[in-house]
């Protein structure tokens, strides 16, 4: 909408808007001042009425307490309220609940019912006040009432409250004519100041409006002249430093740009004529060059046809123009280099074909050996599992022998106790000696079996080779301990026999028998320690063999995976042979001038690729190792 209005009307709207805002602000300020003074008077009237009601309630309590009579109390209260004055002649008025005046400065209205009295403007004077006080919600009521000693009604606000017990309506009011007088005086003061200022503002607005309108008209006429190509006009206001000066400077730049544009257009016209002359001269040169280029293109096209046919011996022999001679030389050089490269490729293809055949044959051989190695590892794993089982059984037997030796030790100790009582029970000594002889026989038998087990363990360790060397040493120690146990058992047996022979001799030999039994106990304890060491060593060897068996199983799995990878490599080598053959056939399509180098003599036959072997599962451990000969271990 503002785009359609002139600058003059826009300035007028701006001035009117400013005046309206100023008037509204002043009016709001005057009204707020009036309201503040009015609220102050209302608070004053409310406080005065509350004070009067409080004083009257004092008389009500005195009458209720019987200090004075009710009539006397009411008379004193009305006298006090009627005589009270405040704020330059303002007073209290008292009515009963029916509107009869009980106290008033005008003695003529006392005893009259004023409930229906109205002011000159038709407003009830006390009815709204009495109704609000009786309801318990007093209000301020505005009406017109003459001041004391005057007959002219003046604006007044009153407030009334009820006295409980007597049902009196005590009220008071304050004239507000002075507030309204102050309000209109403020309006007049504002008008006296604002009207001259407004007049000066309008004059300044009109002057600025005309000045800016004239400036814009002049600038518009200059820009219209410049738009038609008239560069002779002068741009005004360029010496100003305000926004008008900035706009004039921009127009001056626009003028200079127009002059420069005209000059450039003239220069462009002259340059166009010169270019036309140059174009006509170069057309003839371009036609001759096109003829030479056509000759070159035809020759190159023929050379490319020969190249696409595979004849790499073709060369461009016809000479080109001087500027295209390098192109002919480059083409012939490229053909020569391509011919040499293809010869090298043909030679290499033959070598690749021969080498890939050898690789394929070697890969087949490697696959077969890998499969044999996997089978050998499988048998090795089974053998180690059998050895592990044997060693575990040996350890269990050693533990059992230790238990038997413990029993023998306990029996020997019991035999010592029996010898100490030999004086009373020689017969029991003989019986115990026989029992000890039987136990020694058992120990001798255990030692013999342990010796056999150690011998078998040594044989198995020898068959295991390097891995069983440590176990062979342990087996040798076990045999030595078993031999010592057998010797000790024989010695004990000899002693028991001697003891049986000396039992008949009597009690004198009992002490010597007791000493012999003590030696037997010590030897059995030593035997117990030896058997315990044998059991511990056998247990450790069993654990070690389990770990070795696990490692061999893992090696077997890895070998099976290697076999699968070798099968894949074999298939890849066969594929390489086929691709080398295809490459040789492709190179044979080109005419290289000379035959490619022949392939190496004695080309190996190509074996068709076999599918990759799956890893073989680990075989269950065999219980008999007679089938595993030493040759398999040597191959491994």
| pLDDT over 50 at 612, yes or no | no
Same domain for 528 and 390? yes
514 or 208, greater pLDDT: 208
Same domain for 599 and 453? yes
Q: What is the pLDDT of residue 170?
A: 94
Same domain for 124 and 243? no
User: Is 37 within the bounds of a domain?
Assistant: yes
Q: Which of 202, 225, 247 is the last residue of a domain?
A: 202
* 257-261, 498-502, 627-631: segment of lowest average pLDDT: 627-631
Q: What is the CATH number of the domain that holds 180?
A: 3.30.450.20
Average pLDDT over residues 411-427: 68
Which of the four pLDDT bands, split at 50, 70 and 90, describes residue 621? Answer: very low
DSSP assignment of 249-274 equals: HHHHHHHHHHHHHHHHHHHHHHHHHH
Pairing of strands 85-86, 90-95: antiparallel
Q: What is the CATH number of the domain that holds 529?
A: 1.10.287
Q: What is the pLDDT of residue 273?
A: 83
Contact predicate 208/3, CB 8 Å: no
Per-residue pLDDT of 41-66, as tens digits, reads 888 889 999 999 999 999 999 999 98
109 or 440, greater pLDDT: 109
Per-residue pLDDT of 516-525, as tens digits, reads 777 777 777 7
Q: What is the pLDDT of residue 260?
A: 81
Tokens matching residue 238? 């360029």
Tokens matching residue 161? 């409250």
Q: What is the pLDDT of residue 72?
A: 94
- Spatial neighbors of 112 by CB under 8 A, at least 6 apart, are 100, 101
Same domain for 355 and 277? no
Rounded Cα distance between 589 and 583, Å, is 10
Q: What is the pLDDT of residue 610?
A: 47
| pLDDT over 80 at 68, yes or no | yes
* 256-265, 281-290, 504-513, 594-603: segment of lowest average pLDDT: 594-603
Per-residue pLDDT of 209-221, as tens digits, reads 788 878 878 888 8
Same domain for 184 and 248? no
Q: What is the pLDDT of residue 190?
A: 80
User: Is 117 within the bounds of a domain?
Assistant: yes
Q: What is the pLDDT of residue 75?
A: 92
Q: What is the pLDDT of residue 8?
A: 67
Average pLDDT over residues 125-143: 91
Same domain for 385 and 305? no
Q: Taking CA 188 as the corner, what is the angle to CA 183 and CA 191, rounded to the nearest 5 degrees?
A: 125
Rounded Cα distance between 104 and 8, Å, is 67
Same domain for 167 and 265? no
3-state secondary structure labels for all residues of 392-456: HHHHHHHHHHHHHHHHHHHHHHHHHHHHHCCCCCHHHHHHHHHHHHHHHHHHHHHHHHHHHHHHH
| pLDDT over 60 at 164, yes or no | yes
Q: Please tell me the total count of domains within the chain.
A: 3
Q: Report the half-sphere exposure of 359 (CA within 13 A, side-chain side).
A: 19
| pLDDT over 70 at 470, yes or no | yes
Top-confidence range, 331-345, 356-370, 398-412, 421-435: 331-345
Same domain for 531 and 404? yes
User: Is 1 within the bounds of a domain?
Assistant: no
Q: What is the pLDDT of residue 611?
A: 45
User: Is 593 within the bounds of a domain?
Assistant: yes
User: Domain range for residue 261?
Assistant: 234-309
Average pLDDT over residues 491-497: 78
What value does the mean pLDDT of the chain take? 78
Q: What is the pLDDT of residue 56?
A: 92
Pairing of strands 101-103, 85-86: unpaired
Q: SS3 of 315, please? A: coil
Q: What is the pLDDT of residue 5?
A: 65
Per-residue pLDDT of 355-387, as tens digits, reads 777 787 887 787 788 778 777 877 887 877 777
Average pLDDT over residues 532-547: 77
Average pLDDT over residues 314-340: 84
Q: What is the pLDDT of residue 88?
A: 74
User: Is 387 within the bounds of a domain?
Assistant: yes
Q: SS3 of 160, please? A: strand
| pLDDT over 50 at 138, yes or no | yes
User: Is 456 within the bounds of a domain?
Assistant: yes
Q: What is the pLDDT of residue 1?
A: 53
Residue 123 per-residue DSSP state: -
Q: Which of 202, 224, 250 is the last residue of a domain?
A: 202
Same domain for 239 and 156? no
Q: What is the pLDDT of residue 128?
A: 94
| pLDDT over 50 at 83, yes or no | yes
Which of the four pLDDT bands, split at 50, 70 and 90, describes residue 597? Answer: very low
Same domain for 538 and 615? yes
| pLDDT over 90 at 237, yes or no | no
Same domain for 393 and 270? no
User: Is 287 within the bounds of a domain?
Assistant: yes
User: Is 95 within the bounds of a domain?
Assistant: yes
Same domain for 599 and 457? yes
Q: Which of 252, 284, 309 is the last residue of a domain?
A: 309
């Amino acid at each position: 909408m503002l785009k359609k209005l002139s600058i003059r009307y826009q300035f007028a709207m701006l001035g009117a808007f400013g005046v309206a805002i100023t008037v509204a602000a002043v009016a709001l300020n005057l009204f707020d001042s009036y309201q503040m003074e009015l609220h102050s008077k209302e608070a004053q009237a409310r406080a005065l009425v509350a004070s009067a009601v409080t004083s009257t309630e004092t008389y009500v309590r005195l009458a209720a307490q019987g200090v004075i009579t009710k009539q006397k109390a009411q008379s004193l209260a009305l006298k006090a309220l009627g005589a009270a004055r405040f704020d330059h002649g303002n007073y209290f008025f008292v009515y009963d609940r029916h509107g009869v005046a009980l106290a008033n400065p005008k003695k003529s209205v006392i005893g009259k019912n004023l409930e229906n009295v109205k002011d000159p403007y038709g407003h009830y004077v006390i009815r709204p006040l009495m109704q609000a006080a009786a309801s318990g919600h007093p209000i301020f009521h505005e009406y017109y009432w003459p001041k004391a000693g005057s007959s002219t009604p003046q604006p007044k606000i009153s407030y009334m409250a009820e006295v409980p017990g007597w049902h009196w309506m005590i009220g008071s009011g304050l004239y507000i004519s002075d507030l309204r007088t102050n309000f209109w005086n403020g309006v007049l003061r504002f008008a006296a100041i604002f009207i001259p200022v407004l007049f000066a503002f309008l004059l300044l607005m009109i002057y600025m409006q005309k000045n800016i309108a004239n400036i814009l008209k002049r600038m518009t006429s200059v820009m219209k002249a410049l738009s038609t190509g008239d560069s002779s006009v002068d741009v005004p206001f360029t010496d100003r430093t305000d926004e008008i000066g900035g706009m004039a400077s921009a127009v001056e730049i626009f003028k200079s740009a127009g002059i420069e544009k005209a000059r450039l257009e003239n220069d462009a016209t002259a340059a166009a004529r010169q270019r036309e002359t140059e174009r006509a001269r170069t057309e003839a040169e371009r036609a001759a060059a096109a003829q030479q280029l056509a000759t070159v293109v035809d020759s190159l096209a023929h050379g490319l046809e020969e190249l696409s046919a595979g004849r790499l011996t073709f060369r461009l022999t016809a000479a080109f123009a001087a500027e295209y001679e390098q192109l002919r030389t480059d083409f012939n050089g490229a053909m020569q280099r391509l011919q040499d490269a293809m010869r090298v490729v043909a030679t290499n293809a033959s070598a690749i074909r021969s080498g890939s055949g050898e690789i394929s044959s070697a890969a087949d051989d490697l696959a077969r050996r890998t499969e044999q190695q996997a089978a050998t590892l499988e048998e090795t794993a089974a053998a180690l599992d059998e050895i592990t089982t044997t060693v575990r059984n040996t350890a269990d037997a050693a533990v059992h022998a230790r238990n038997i030796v413990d029993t023998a030790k306990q029996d020997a100790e019991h035999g010592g106790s029996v010898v100490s009582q030999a004086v009373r029970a020689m017969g029991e000594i003989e019986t115990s000696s026989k029992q000890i002889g039987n136990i020694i026989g058992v120990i001798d038998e255990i030692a013999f079996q342990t010796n056999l087990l150690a011998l078998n363990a040594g044989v198995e360790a020898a068959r295991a080779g390097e891995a069983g060397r440590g176990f062979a040493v342990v087996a040798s120690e076990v045999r030595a301990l078993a031999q010592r146990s057998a010797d000790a058992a024989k010695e004990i047996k000899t002693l028991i026999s001697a003891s049986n022979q000396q039992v008949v001799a009597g009690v004198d030999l009992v002490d010597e028998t007791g000493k012999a039994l003590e030696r037997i106990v010590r030897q059995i304890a030593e035997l117990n320690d030896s058997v315990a060491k044998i059991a511990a060593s056998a247990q450790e060897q069993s654990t070690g063999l389990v770990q070795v068996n696990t490692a061999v199983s893992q090696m077997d799995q890895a070998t099976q995976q290697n076999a699968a990878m070798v099968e894949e490599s074999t298939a890849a080598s066969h594929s390489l042979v086929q691709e080398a053959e295809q490459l040789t056939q492709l190179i044979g399509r080109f005419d290289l001038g000379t035959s490619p180098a022949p392939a190496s003599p004695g080309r190996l036959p190509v074996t068709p690729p076999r599918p990759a072997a799956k890893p073989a599962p680990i075989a269950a451990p065999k219980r008999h190792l007679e089938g595993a000969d030493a040759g398999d271990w040597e191959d491994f």
